[in-house]
Each structure stands twice: as C-alpha cells, then as structure tokens.
Structure 1
Amino acid sequence: SPYRTVLRDNAVPTIFDLTSHLNNPHSRHRKRIKELSEDEIKSLKERKIDETSEQEQTNQETNNSTSAQNAVAEGGGEQDEEVLPLTLEEKENKDYLKSLFEILILMGKQNIPLDGHETDEIPEGIFMPDNFQALLECRINAGDEVLRKRFETTAVNMLFCSKTQQKQMLEICESCIREETLREVRDSHFFSIVTDDVVDIAGEEHLPVLVRFVDDSHNLREEFIGFLPYEADAEILAVKFHTTITEKWGLNMEYCRGQAYIVSSGFSSKMKVVAMRLLEKYPQAVYTLCSSCALNTWLAKSIPVVGVSVALGIIEEVCSFFHRSPQLLVELDSVISVLFQNSEEKGNELKEICRSQWTGRHDAFEILVDLLQALVLCLDNINSDTTVRWDNFIAGQAFVLGSALVDFDFIVTVVVLKNILSFTRAFGKNLQGQTSDVFFAASSLTAVLHSLNEVMENIEVYHEFWFEEATNLATKLDIEIKLPGKFRRSQQANLEPEVTSESYYKEVLSVPTVEHIIQELKDIFSEQHLKALKCLSLVPSVMGQLKFNTSEEHHADMYKSDLPNPDTLSAELHCWRIKWKHRGKDIELPATIYEALHLPDIKFFPNVYALLKVLCILPVMKVENERYENGRKRLKAYLRDTLTAHRSSNLALLNINFDIKHDLDLMVDTYIKLYTSKLDLQEEVLPTSNSEITENT
C-alpha cells in the first residue's frame, strides 16, 4: 500500500488502546480513508518515481555547479594535492619494506622470537643469524626477487635489517594492529579497562591491559590492547597509566564506565591508588571486581600481611608442581584414595578438583585444608622415592614445597583465611553467577558486612576457635606449634613478657585481615557500583522475579548523560515492563544482558538499549559468549608458551591478536613518514658498508 507508517529510530513505543473508539460517539462520523483502485495505486507510484528522479537530477546539477565554483576559487589547488606517481626506485623500496613487515607479522603470529641462539651457545668462529635474518634468507631462497635484488651484493655476515629498524617496524606493527581494535572501541563509545597480573617481559615488569566494549553486533568483547611498563611508585604509575591510555592509545576516558585490576599480593595496593586517581578525574569509571577472578581470591591477594602473601605463593607453586605431568597427579590420586577410603565420594571429588586450577575457586582454602595431609604425604613420597621414578629436580622441588607446607605459620594462615573468607564465599559466588544472582548479591552486601563486623567485635572468641583448628591440624600432621623464627629471635633481645603463639597470630594475622576485608568490600562496592548493579533489574528475567515491580529510574540517574532521550526514560521503562509483563505464554524472559541486547525490537527502546550496553561492559559482569573472551585466554597461552627471555611486548600483541586484519601498505607508509624521507629512503633501508655487522665475522 502507498500509505505506510514508518517509525523513527528514536521512536518510543506506546501502549495503544484499540477499542476505545467504539465507545466514542464522535468517532463514528469520521471520514473513512478512500480505498484506491489498482490504476490509482499505479498512477501514484509513477508520480513518486518521477518526483524522485527530478530531485536526484536537481541535486546532481547543484553538486556539479558547486564543484566547478570550488575549482575556480581554489585556482587549480587540486593539482597541487594530487598524489604524484611513485618512481621505480620508490616502488621498489616500498615493496622491500612490505616484505620486511610480512616477515615480522609472521613471526608475531607464529610466536617466533626475534633472537635465535643465545650468544654463549654459539661455538666460537661460527656465525648464526637471528630468526629474522634466517627468515629473510629463506624468503630470498624461495624466490622473492625484491629481496634477492636488494641483497645480492651484500656480504654474508652482514645484518639485513638492523636491530633499531626491527624495533621501529615492530612498534608500527603493534600500533596498527592495536588501532583496529581501538577503532571499534571508539565506535562503541563506552568501554571499561581491565588489567591482569604483572608479568615479566624480557626482564622488565609489565601490566597487561584489556578493554571491554560492545561491538556493532551487540556482543560484549574483551580484547587485549597491549602492555604497560610497571612502575614501583604508585603515583607515577597512575600518571603513566592515564597518559598511555589517553594520549598514546587515543581513548577518551570520559567514556570509561568501569575499571578492574587483577594483581598479585605485592601490587594490589598500588593498583588501588591508580583506581582512585582515575576515579577522581572520571567519577563514572566505576571501580569494580573483575568477573574472571573469584572475590575470595581477589580479597586474599589484596591483604597486606606478609604471611598471607607467602602462603598464596606456596599454594600456587604446589598447584603448578602437580600439573607438571600426569604422573604427578596420578601419584597424588593414589594418596587421596588411601586417605579417603572410608569416604570414596569425597576422595573422588578431591581428585577431580586437583585436575583443575583449583587455587582460583571461591572455596580454595577449604579445599586446601582438606587436601593438606594428602599433599604433604605425596610430596614426602616423591622426595624419598628410591626407585628413581623422579629426577633430581622434581625430587628437590618436592622437598622444598613439602617443607613449606609443614610450617606452622603456613598452617595458621591458611586456616584463618579459610574461616574469614567463608563469610564472603556465597556472596562472591553469586557475583559470578547468573544476572539475577548478581542483582540480588548487591542487596546481600549489607548482611555480609554485618557478619564481618560482628566477627571483628568478638575477635577474641573467633580467633580462639580458629587457632584451635590450626593446632589440631598441625598435630595431625606432626608439625611443631611455634612462633615464626624471625619473631622468636627478635623477642630474645627484649625483656618484655613472652608472647604466646595464639596472641601473636591474633595481632599480626586475624585482626588486620578482618579489618582489611571489611574496608576492601566497602571500597570495591561503592555506592555507584551498587547503583549500577541495581539497574540489572532491567533484564526481563530479573523483572519477572521481582513481579515487574521495579524502579530502575531511581538507580539509572548516574547514567542519564549516556542516554539518547533521558526525558522519556520513565515512560520508556514503563513500556518495557508492560511488554514483558503481558508477553505471550510461549515467550521466555531473556535471562541475560546478552539476550536482551539481541532482541529484534530492542532499538524501539533506545534508553533501555543504552543502559544495557553500559551495564554490560562493567568488569564485574561476565562475558556470556566465550567466543568474545579470547583476549585473556590468548594472553595466558602466550605467557605460558613463551620463555621470559623471548617475550616481546610488540610480538605478543601480534600473536594474541593474530586474527585482526592488517594493512601492509599503511604500515609501510607510516614507516616512511616517521623514519625516512624520499631523499634518504634508499640509504635507510639498503644495507651498506656502515650497516650493523655481527661480532663473529
């Protein structure tokens, strides 16, 4: 029909009453719309086509006239802006650079280190090219005429590409690949920043940085965008962190809606300073927990007690030790079978847990206490084995780890952590659960803090029970109950009354740990964070559990500036609730933000759509589709598979983002623009007698 109603993109749905006109006497005498015949419809269509053609012709004439006027006004300026054709020499140089970039990209994608053999591994008098040169030679031998022509007169022992040039080209590769992701982030507007644990890159500490955003297909993605050199001074780190993200990477932090930091014990306090400094500048960059890290693990790593840091390190080393080989896990299984022969179900459960990365679980400390006897006995068996099943390295490491596990300081620390973190275990588990679990977890924080405050008020009683549990476990493992040696030695020089083990651990462990966890929960779950979590009632399944009696507008005020039509928010939310309350019987309520964002009619609710996108990128929300969480997984794989000495921040980004498209011409043009000119391009890229030459000629 020629009479069509087209909704605008920003239209707000309205609940229409289709029967009210029947009771309105005035509406009965309205003129009816004339029904058109086939000929009339055809005539209307032809008239519309003619009008459109005339309009296009008019526009074309106008554009031509404007272009002609501009050309006259500029006085031939277009000729000056035309790109001059490349000379043969310039074309050859660009082809040469393109070949070099192709090799570097290949090395990055395949995780091939730049350096080949270590210097001390090469016999004297023998020249061994690095991997880059080796690939260059391979490409020449395979028939690359551009490279062959370039190097046919070059000495055998001369470097084809200097280390400086390699570094420059790698930086350009990294920048161009990163820019592809950042372009999508900018198009999405809103994003969150997440950092992972500090890593060693060729002897220097770096922070891996990831970004969360919703792409054009409404998918939440978490992508790796680079490493940031770590600074020991927290204030300097905060400044460099901000400068790198805004100036070097070009992200507008005004659009940052979340920040989260996953770091080990020694770095948490410094990253908290970074978070606070960013919050001062950008109040909407809410400081949250990260969905990939269990709350209890995060809290334990943040505790500023030396004994806790040491214990966490030992636990990680023990877990890594048994994952070295299947034989070690089989050995542990056999010990568990003996110890839990009267509780086979419990034993099988522990065996299954041991095959996973159990140190990151919510109940990691409960598991450790259950496993402790088995771990100690297994390590003792490996260390004292006389059948030569284990090499000296494995046996030696088993001895070291076994000795660490039977230290009373370790036992007390683990037991105290287990008991204190039991109050936050269910809360943390809900935060990593379904969307409805996260929503209701926000309401349970008050109860968690109340319980911890009660523990603090009665710490004498609670600590007495915890210490008794620790001493019983130590007795079971035949471990001597004593104070740490360092404290005993310092106490010998003092004339003060002797301190008991129980009172010592209460003051240095239990009290500071409880106090710290209470404060951390208050800091990480700020008023803004809780408001954001309350907005999860927008998700239809949560609405359903609340009987559609929700009031998101009271919590969404913090995001008003992010909405396309904030004035119509209340009316739109009403329509959103009615839509789901009066849905058909066969229609299921979307259970996640991901499902809600992919609804076919979501664009009819522009404010709801904007709110869901912002909530989705909060680091505390898990990535529903694992396909879009590749950044973190690939980062872990790169760090696991690459020796520390061979790691490169540039090559790492190429390896982790191997599936991102790259523009070789752009890389070449960028290199020429930054590091060469038309006059010295030939000198820069051609090896000469002054080129870098290896020492072993």
Structure 2
Amino acid sequence: MLDTMVTEIKQSKYYSIILDCTPDVSHQEQMSVIIRTVKMDKAPEIKEHFMGFLVACETTGLGLSSLILNKLMELNIPFDDCRGQSYDNGANMKGRNKGVQARLLEKNPRALYVPCGAHSLNLVVADAAKASTDAISYFGNVQKLYSLFSAAPQRWAILREHVTVALKTWSDTRWESRINSIEAVRYQASNIREALLEVREKVTDPLTKVEAQSLAEEVGSYRFLICTVVWYDILHHVNHVSKLLQSPKMQLDVAVDLLTKAKTSLTNYRGTGFASAQASAKDMCEEMNVEAVLKQKRLRNTKKHFAYEAPEEPIADALKRLEATFFNVVVDTAIGSLKDRFETLGEVRDRFGVLLNFQKLDDQELCNQCDNLCGTLSSGDESDIDGKELAVEVKNLPRLPSDDMTALELLTFIHKKHLEELYPNLWVALRIACTLPVTVASAERSFSKLKLIKTYLRSSMGQDRLTGLAIISINHETGKQLSYEEIIADFANKKARKQTF
C-alpha cells in the first residue's frame, strides 16, 4: 500500500511535506508525515498522502529535520523534488536559524516554507483576547457558567429545560472554537439567566447560591451583553475562514484572498460594530426586563479603610470608555495581528502572483516577475522553469474562460485543452503552486486516528503496526484497493501450527 503511494508521488514529481507532532498514550512523541502532490489523471487533483507516524526522540530542529530526511531516503523519494514545507508556529519548526524549515532550506532552497494558516489565525484571536482586560474577564465568566451547570447533573438538567443549545467548554489552544460556547449565550442569554435564578433557589450549598446570583447579575448586565455580541461577531468571521483553510484542497492564492477579505471585514466592523452591538445588547436587555445601564465601580481611598462606591455615571461616558478599552483594542489588535502573522504567507503568494495576474501587467513588469519566479525555483545551476520563456508563454495564452481563475483552475484548463507541451514552463509553475500547502490540518486530523488506534488497551503496540493501521484508516482510497481476504489468508498461513511434511 505504501509502495503505491510512493509510486504516485514520484509520478507527480513535485511535492510538499507537512509535519506536526503530538504525544501518544505511551508518552512517545509521534510525528505525522504528510506529502502533498498534484495528481495528473483525468484532471489535475490535489492529494495529501499520509505516510505514517515517526517516533521523535529529539524534538529539536536538528532531530526532526534528520528524521524526515531519513524517512524520505528510506522511501526513495528524492528531497530535491520538494517544493514546499508547512508546520505550526513552534520555535523548533519555524526558527529562522535552527528550526526545521531553516535546516531543510539549507539542503534545498526551493523547499519554500509556508506557516500553517489555521494555526496563525488561531493566534490572531489569542492576541486579540489578551489585549483587553474586559476580554479576559469575559471569557472567565463564560467558563464559570459552564463549570457551574456541569458540576452537577441536577444543575445541567435545569439548564436543558431552559435552553435548546447547551453551553460548551473549549480548547485552550483553539481559540476560534470558543464561538460554540458563546453562541448559546448570544442567542439564549435570557434563558440562561432564568436557569441561574432557578439554580439559586433550588441548591442548598450557600457558595453555589452566591455564585449563581453573581453570574445571573453578570449575564443580565449591559457590559456583558455588549462583549458577547462583539466577540460572537469577531469569532464568526474568523471561524468561517479557519474552516475553509483546513480543506485538504485549499490553494495558496485562495487562502490569501480569504485572509484579505477577513481583514477587510474586520476593518469595516471597526467602524460600525460597536453601534450594532449596542442595539443588539439593548434588545437582549429588554427581553430579560433589565435596564441597559453601564455602571463603573471605583475604589475610594479613605484614611481608615478602602471601600467601593458606584457613582451614577452617564451611560454615554461609560459606553465611550468601553469602546476605547475593549472594542477598539480587540479589533485593532486582531487587524494588526492578521497583517503581521500572515506576512510570510503573503510573500510566498506574491512570488507566484504572476501566474494569476499576468493579464494586468505590462511587458516590463511581466518579465521582471517571471524572472523573480525563476529565481525562486532555482538552486545553483538548476531551475524548474525559464523566466523569459514563461513570459512569452503567458503572453500567448489562448482566451481564458474567466479573468479570475485560481492556479488549479488554470492548470485544469491547460490539461483539458492538451496544452502541456505548448506551455511547459507555465505547466510546471502551476503544478508547483498548487503543491504548496496552506495548513497542517491533515496532520492534526491524523492525530484523531492515532488516539482511536493506540488506546490505553493497546499502549504496547509496535510502531510498524501503528503506522500500518493508520495508513489503511486515513488513506481510504488506497485502502480500498487492498484485498483483505488475501491478507487474512497470508496471516493465517504464517500463524498455522500444522506442519506439512
């Protein structure tokens, strides 16, 4: 089965590698190896092949880079044909001096590094959440809601009587997943508040009574509801883009366009979002029959003691303060982080930009960008394409079906018209562009299979067996080609105790 995938990878010639690591139930660091290619069959198709798990004894840049190079050598896959590499944002992977990407670039300058887009987008939300005290306290209160109801079956039953979408917890490392927990609060705040008040009346523990009362007051506060609406809107945009980026067939040019639109959407939201959040929060307050007023508690210092006072503050001033300290800080941080964290992704996309926007370039700019792409795909005296010939080819392309075609669509058009031999440089450049990965989501998905296969009851499973079962489970199409009857018969013959004389 593995030989079939290796043959397919060699036929595709150009490939990219995707790596990620996680500990298993035996406390061994398992590295998932994914190879991404463009398969040429009836139509060009982006494929990601799971090649197995490797035990990473050393998680340094040197140890991981040596491990993957040895694996490629064992599979007889030439590393010189690698054109891309994608990892998460760990220092041992993305380090510019001693990281895996830097060490592999020393051996093959054409193996372009593309940081994981989904992981970077997750860090954008994390940056925004940590930029404001109101944001930090907000997520703390949402977590308290879940903890209060989930601590006892009776409380959870009370919650289920009042809501249709239950509260959910979240992962500390996947910030965009918090939209699932906020959704219940966003559209069922009144019901959740009623459930809290019922818990307060029915429980006997005085601490739980106090906590339920406190959370009921918090859920009914204008400030909390504004924060809920704002965070739901932000996470809704981010989560939609994150889901699209995790597709195995996602292309670099499409990913950059999605991120550009997300940045534009957040920029527009910066101007109108707070006003719309206020209107939505007022409607939620009216539904709960509470007054939409912001009160700022201040600390009063006297000679004898410290005490809190809550002066009547004009709601307009309180709203301006909330907008300045929470809304503007969160949205501005998200926009700035989007720009900084996806700078590398944009640079790689710009190198291949001539393949998509050549119709908008003049002759001189077209030649310059073709030469730059030729330099990117060159190593020493070897080059995948000729820049001057590429410029001539794109000038003489036939009329295209659309002016806004993706790299895969243009590759499919050339393949369908049988123009590969007439446009060899463009053909190669497009194949390499489609090979470049955008995320390590496929490696993350393989970890789900790892946890299903290597459980506590199978903690002593050997590495070869683990890899074999994972390959069959993950690579469905290749697994269907196996004859399980022959495998079972072969296994039975090897284990048979009866000897033939």
Q: CA deviation at 1:612?
A: 1.3
1:477-513: CA deviation from partner (whole Å, max 9, x where unpaired): 99xx999xxxx9xxxxxx9999x99999998998588
The one of 330, 338, 350 equivalent to 1:531 is 350
Structure 1 position 277 matched with structure 2 position 99: yes
In structure 2, distance between residues paired with 1:591 and 1:215: 12
Aligned partner of 1:610 in structure 2 is: 428
In structure 2, distance between residues paired with 1:183 and 1:537: 31
Q: CA deviation at 1:195?
A: 3.5
1:203 touches 1:644 (CA, 8 Å); kept in 2? Answer: no
In structure 2, distance between residues paired with 1:474 and 1:207: 50
1:577-636: CA deviation from partner (whole Å, max 9, x where unpaired): 2x235x8xxxx99972563464233243211111111111121399xxxxxx99876653
Aligned partner of 1:372 in structure 2 is: 185
Aligned partner of 1:53 in structure 2 is: none
2:162 touches 2:194 (CA, 8 Å); kept in 1? Answer: no
- SS of the residue corresponding to residue 220 of structure 1 reads strand
Alpha carbons of structure 1 residues 560 and 311: separation in structure 2 relative to 1, 3 Å? same
Q: CA deviation at 1:463?
A: 9.2
In structure 2, distance between residues paired with 1:407 and 1:258: 51
Alpha carbons of structure 1 residues 210 and 431: separation in structure 2 relative to 1, 3 Å? closer
In structure 1, distance between residues paired with 2:331 and 2:340: 14
Alpha carbons of structure 1 residues 332 and 225: separation in structure 2 relative to 1, 3 Å? farther
Aligned partner of 1:222 in structure 2 is: 48
Structure 1 position 592 matched with structure 2 position 420: no
Q: CA deviation at 1:253?
A: 5.0
In structure 2, distance between residues paired with 1:654 and 1:515: 45
In structure 2, distance between residues paired with 1:468 and 1:276: 52
Aligned partner of 1:646 in structure 2 is: 458
Aligned partner of 1:601 in structure 2 is: 419
- SS of the residue corresponding to residue 609 of structure 1 reads helix
2:21 touches 2:32 (CA, 8 Å); kept in 1? Answer: yes
Aligned partner of 1:194 in structure 2 is: 18
The one of 28, 36, 45 equivalent to 1:204 is 28
- SS of the residue corresponding to residue 572 of structure 1 reads helix
Structure 1 position 300 matched with structure 2 position 125: yes
Aligned partner of 1:563 in structure 2 is: 384
In structure 2, distance between residues paired with 1:183 and 1:506: 59
In structure 2, distance between residues paired with 1:240 and 1:308: 37
In structure 2, distance between residues paired with 1:238 and 1:646: 30
Aligned length: 402
2:2 touches 2:51 (CA, 8 Å); kept in 1? Answer: yes
In structure 1, distance between residues paired with 2:112 and 2:225: 37
2:454 touches 2:466 (CA, 8 Å); kept in 1? Answer: no
Structure 1 position 619 matched with structure 2 position 437: yes
In structure 2, distance between residues paired with 1:472 and 1:521: 35
The one of 327, 335, 342 equivalent to 2:163 is 335
User: Which has the larger share of strand?
Assistant: 2
Q: TM-score, normalised by structure 1?
A: 0.41
Identity %: 15
In structure 2, distance between residues paired with 1:192 and 1:610: 14
1:535 touches 1:555 (CA, 8 Å); kept in 2? Answer: no
Alpha carbons of structure 1 residues 244 and 380: separation in structure 2 relative to 1, 3 Å? farther
1:61-80: CA deviation from partner (whole Å, max 9, x where unpaired): xxxxxxxxxxxxxxxxxxxx
In structure 1, distance between residues paired with 2:172 and 2:457: 27
Alpha carbons of structure 1 residues 363 and 516: separation in structure 2 relative to 1, 3 Å? closer
2:370 corresponds to which letter in structure 1? E
Unaligned runs of 5+ in 2: 151-155, 200-211, 300-304, 311-317, 473-477, 483-501
Q: CA deviation at 1:572?
A: 1.6
Matches within 5 A, 1:298-697: 299-300=124-125, 305=130, 335-336=163-164, 368-372=181-185, 417-418=231-232, 438=253, 441-442=256-257, 445=260, 448=263, 514-515=332-333, 518-519=336-337, 521-526=339-344, 527-532=346-351, 534-537=353-356, 551=366, 553=370, 556-561=373-378, 562-575=383-396, 577=397, 579-581=398-400, 592=409, 595-596=412-413, 598-599=415-416, 600-620=418-438, 636-640=448-452, 643-644=455-456, 646=458, 648=461, 649-658=463-472, 659=478
1:54-95: CA deviation from partner (whole Å, max 9, x where unpaired): xxxxxxxxxxxxxxxxxxxxxxxxxxxxxxxxxxxxxxxxxx
Unaligned runs of 5+ in 1: 1-176, 323-327, 337-349, 386-398, 489-494, 623-628, 663-697
In structure 1, distance between residues paired with 2:350 and 2:245: 15
In structure 2, distance between residues paired with 1:530 and 1:524: 11
- SS of the residue corresponding to residue 9 of structure 2 reads helix
Alpha carbons of structure 1 residues 309 and 632: separation in structure 2 relative to 1, 3 Å? farther
> Superposition RMSD on alpha carbons, in Å?
6.7
1:212 touches 1:617 (CA, 8 Å); kept in 2? Answer: yes
1:269-296: CA deviation from partner (whole Å, max 9, x where unpaired): 66543898344442544443657x4874
Question: Greater CA radius of gyration, 1 or 2?
Answer: 1
2:83 touches 2:432 (CA, 8 Å); kept in 1? Answer: yes
Aligned partner of 1:256 in structure 2 is: 82
In structure 1, distance between residues paired with 2:450 and 2:423: 42
1:411-434: CA deviation from partner (whole Å, max 9, x where unpaired): 998766546567767876886899
Q: TM-score, normalised by structure 2?
A: 0.53
